[in-house]
Amino acid sequence: MACKFHRALLHCAENGSIIRSILNLSSPSVTSMTCCLKNNRRFKSRRSNDSLSSIIQPLPVKPASRNTDDINIGEELTGVLKKDKLLKLLSQFYNRDAVKKLAFENGLDNRLFHKAFISFRKFCFDSEQLPVDLHIVVSDILQGSGHVDDIFPYFLRHCYEIFPHLECMEDLKKISDLRLPANWYPEARSIQRKFIFHAGPTNSGKTYHALERFIGAKSGIYCGPLKLLASEVFHKCNSAGTPCDLITGEERRYASEDGTASGHVACTVEMASLTSPYEVAVIDEIQMIKDQQRGWAWTRALLGLYAQEIHVCGEASTIDLVRELALTTGEEVEVRRYKRLTDLTYLNHSVDKFENVRPGDCIVCFNKNDIYYVTRQLEQLNKECAVIYGSLPPSTKISQSNKFNDTSNDCKVMVATDAIGMGLNLAIKRIVFYSVMKPMMNDKGEIEMDLISTSQALQIAGRAGRYNTAYEHGEVTTFYSKDLRILKDIVKQPIEPVMQGGLHPTADQIELFAYHLPKASLSNLIDIFEMSCEMDSDTFFMCNSDDFKFLADMIEHVPLPLRVRYVFCCAPISVKQPFACAMFLKFARRFSRNEPLTLDWLCRQLGWPLKPAGNLVDLVHLECVFDVLDLYLWLSYRFPDLFPDVTMVRELQSELDSIIQVGVRNIVQLVRNQEYQSKGIVVEGAEGLGMQDGEDVEFVMKTRKQRIRERKPLQSSLEQDQRATKEAKAEAKLNNSKLAQKLVESGMVTKEVLDKLRSEWEAELRRDLPDSGEDSGDNNKR
C-alpha cells in the first residue's frame, strides 16, 4: 500500500511539472487548451449529486376545495380551525425529533422530509376544507385531547401522494439491481463458452489471428467499435470466400442477393445479436469496455454473446477484468500475447518548424482549430496534405486515407485527430504529436483538459511503421520540443489496468420503473434508476447518460410511447449540434402524428439541394446534415413504416458525401475564406448556409442550457462574421455608388452632405443588425 501511495505522489508531482511546462509554451494549441481549461465548467453534470433525494421533486397536489353540497363535515363535528393556530401546530410537528426519525424509517431523509413538509403545509393552508379525518385530529390536538405526533399518518399519506416512489421503493430496488448482470443473458448461460484473449500493442497481428479463426468457422460474429472496422471485416471475409453480412446502426448488407442471412456477420458492437448461436465470436478493442459512454456495449457482448468460442482482442490491461467477468460465469480464459511486428523509434528531436515536416508524416491534433491552423501553414509551404477527423463521413475518411497511401499522389503528409487510432490502414512513417493535451470526460461525466493517457499515446504512436507497407520502420516525435520529454514520460508509464466495465439501464428496466412511477419523465426515470441502482462498484460503473437525458428532455412534450421515446433517445447524434437536435425534434413530432417522413419532406427541411462549402462554417453544417441523414437511416431500421425512403436517402447521403469530400480537399481555401470573412472581406461564392426553423433551434438551445450549456467556437462566431460581411458590403456599395458620384459632380450635393448621409446610413445599418451583446455576455459567464 505504501509503495502505491509513493508512486501516486510521484505521478502527481510529475504531472504537475509537466502541466507547468506546457503552460509555458506559446503555440496555438496551448492557447486553445487554456481557453478550454477556463470553460470546462460548462460540462458539469448532474451525476455529481450524492443522493436520490437530490433529484426527486414533489408532484403538485391541488388544495382540497369544498364539496358539491357546500358542507364542511369537519367543521360541523369539531368547529372551525384557525389558520394561524394550524400553522403553529405544523411548525411544532416539523421540529419534533421523533417525527424526523419516523420519516427516516419510512424513506424520507432530511431533504425529502423538508420538501414534503413544505408541500403538506401549503396543502393545509390553501385548502378550503381539510379532509374530515385530518380536520378532526388537528382539532383534538388544539383542544388538548391529542398529541402533535398524531398528525404523522396523515403527513405520510400526503408524502405517498407527492413522492410515489416511497410506496414502491423495494420494487424499484429489485428492478435496478445490477449486481449480477451475467444473469440477464439466459442463452449465453445455457452453454459453456471459452474465451481466448489476444493481447498486444498496435500492429502486432492480434486481430489478424482472431479473424483467421472467425473466417474459418462454420458461423461467426465480429463486433467492432466502428462502422469502418465492421465494413473492413465484411469485405475481407467475403473476399476470402466466406459469405458474411454487415450490420450497423444505419446499414444492412447481405452477402446473398436474395437477402438471406449468412452464417457470418460483421457488426458494430451495439448491434450484436445475443440470441443467435455462433461457433466463433470476435470482440475487438476490448479496452473500450471502460469508455464512459459506450462501455456498456462491450460488457453486454462479453457476458451475453451466444458463442462457443469468444476471441477478445485488445490491450493486455483488460486481461484481469475479462478473467474476473469469466469467473462469474464459470468460464475459462486463455491468453495469447503478441509482440509488435515492426520497429518503432521515439526520436530525440522534435519537428519545431513546419519546414521540417517530411513525406510520410502524420501530424496528430486533438481539436479542429489546430487541424485548420496546421493545414494552413503546410499549404503556405506548398505541402499538400490529407485531412481526417472524427466528424467526417466514413467514405470521406477512406478517400483521404487512400489519397495519402497512394505513392503516385502528390499528397505526402496527413493532418488528423486521434480518429486515425482505429479503423484505417495508413502508411505512416512518422507520427508527430502537435499537442499532448486532450479534452476528456472524467468519471463524473465532466469534460476537462488533461494529458493523453499512456494507452492513448501508444495507440496513436503505434500507427507509424505499419507492417507490409513502404514504411515498416516507424518513428514518433512531437512538434514542440517541450512536449517531447512529456511524451516520452507518458509512454514509459505502465498502462493502468482496466478495473471496471460499463453498464446501462435497458428499455425493459425503464419500462418497469415507469409502471411504478407513471408521472415521471424519461430523464427523471434515468436519474432515479442511476441513484437507486445497486451494483458491484469494484467491477462495474454506470455509463454516462447525459446525452440520453438531454434528448429525453428535448422531446418530453412530444406525445410518444415510452418504448419509442427510449429508442429515439438512443439515437447516435451529437447533442452539440443545434441543427441536428432541431431535426431530431422534427422527426419526433412528425412520428408522433403518425405521418411518414418522406424524402420530399426531408429535402424541404434540409434545404436540398445544398451548396458546396464556401467556408468552414458551411463545411461543419454539411457534416451535420450528413449526421441527420444517418439519423434517418438509423431510425428507419427501427420504425420502417414511418421512415420509408431508405434507398433514396442513402443516395442523397452519397451525393452529400461527394460534396463534403470536395470541401475537405479544398479545406485550405475554406480556412482562408473564413479568415477573410472574419475580417469583413467579401468572398464570392462563400455565403454561409442558413439555419431553418428558428423556433426549433431556439427550443433546442433553451433545452441545452438546462443540461450542458456548451457552444461551438465556429458557431458562436458566425453572427460576427455575417455582421462584418454585411457592413463591408454596405460600405463598398456606398463608396462605389455611381449616383453619388454624379450628384457630387453636378453640384447638386456637396461632399460634406454626402459624408453626412454616409454616417447616417451606417448608423441605421448598425441598428438593423442583430445585437450580439447578450451572447457575448453569456460566453463570458461560461
Q: CATH for 55-63+71-166?
A: 1.10.1740.140
Asked if residues 214 and 282 have their Cβ atoms less than 8 Å apart, the reply is yes
For helices 83-94 and 132-142, angle between their N-to-C axes, nearest 10 degrees? 80
Cell numbers that stand for 546 in this block = 447525459
Whole-number mean pLDDT of the chain?
Answer: 81
The answer to which of 239-253, 420-434, 617-631 has the lowest mean pLDDT is: 420-434
- Does position 78 have pLDDT exceeding 70, yes or no? yes
The answer to which of 26-35, 176-185, 530-539 has the lowest mean pLDDT is: 26-35
Of 671, 723, 715, 395, which Cα lies nearest the Cα of 579? Answer: 715
Asked if residues 370 and 32 have their Cβ atoms less than 8 Å apart, the reply is yes
pLDDT tens digits for 498-545? 999 999 998 999 999 888 888 889 998 998 898 888 999 999 999 999
SS3 309: strand
Element (H, E) at 689: none
**What pLDDT score does 721 carry?**
45
Asked if residues 56 and 528 have their Cβ atoms less than 8 Å apart, the reply is yes
Distance (Å, rounded) from C-alpha 318 to C-alpha 299?
A: 12
**DSSP conformation class of 120:** H
Max avg pLDDT among 79-88, 106-115, 565-574 = 565-574
Where do the structural domains in the chain lie, given as residue ranges? 55-63+71-166, 181-337, 344-492, 505-679
Asked if residues 439 and 449 have their Cβ atoms less than 8 Å apart, the reply is yes
**What pLDDT score does 24 carry?**
35
Whether the model clears a pTM of 0.95, i.e. scores above it, the answer is no
Q: How confident is the model at residue 655 (pLDDT cuts 50, 70, 90)?
A: very high
Q: How confident is the model at residue 67 (pLDDT cuts 50, 70, 90)?
A: low
Of 499, 497, 496, which Cα lies nearest the Cα of 540? Answer: 499
Distance (Å, rounded) from C-alpha 675 to C-alpha 615?
A: 9
pLDDT tens digits for 299-323? 999 999 999 999 999 999 999 999 9
Q: How many CB atoms lie within 10 A of CB 83?
A: 10
Q: Can you name the residues that pair with 264 across neighbouring β-strands?
A: 220, 244
Query: Three-state SS across 205-253?
Result: CHHHHHHHHHHHCCCEEEEECCHHHHHHHHHHHHHCCCCEEEECCCCEE
Q: CATH for 181-337?
A: 3.40.50.300
Q: Which CATH architecture has domain 344-492?
A: 3-Layer(aba) Sandwich (3.40)
Distance (Å, rounded) from C-alpha 80 to C-alpha 78?
A: 7
Q: How many CB atoms lie within 10 A of CB 96?
A: 16
What is the mean predicted confidence (pLDDT) over 683-698? 47
pLDDT tens digits for 576-611? 899 999 999 999 999 999 999 999 999 999 999 999
Element (H, E) at 169: helix 169-175
Asked if residues 464 and 31 have their Cβ atoms less than 8 Å apart, the reply is no
Cα distances (angstroms) measured from residue 725 to each of 510, 677, 711, 732: 50, 6, 22, 11
pLDDT tens digits for 233-292? 999 999 999 999 999 999 999 999 888 999 999 999 999 999 999 999 999 999 999 999
Q: Determine the residue type at 23.
A: L
CATH topology of 344-492 equal to that of 505-679?
no
Q: How confident is the model at residue 651 (pLDDT cuts 50, 70, 90)?
A: very high
The percent of residues in the chain predicted with pLDDT above 90, rounded, is 50
Asked if residues 541 and 520 have their Cβ atoms less than 8 Å apart, the reply is no
Cell numbers that stand for 77 in this block = 363535528
Number of H helices, E strands in the chain: 33, 18
Max avg pLDDT among 43-52, 162-171, 470-479, 744-753 = 470-479
Of 3, 1, 9, 14, which Cα lies nearest the Cα of 489? Answer: 14
SS3 378: helix
Looking at CATH, the fold of the domain delimited by 505-679 is given as Methane Monooxygenase Hydroxylase; Chain G, domain 1 (1.20.58)
Cell numbers that stand for 202 in this block = 498496435
Q: Is 231 exposed, middle or buried (0-12, 13-18, 19+ CB in 10 A)?
A: buried
Distance (Å, rounded) from C-alpha 511 to C-alpha 412?
A: 54
Cα distances (angstroms) measured from residue 563 to each of 182, 275, 300, 642: 24, 21, 20, 16
Q: How confident is the model at residue 367 (pLDDT cuts 50, 70, 90)?
A: confident
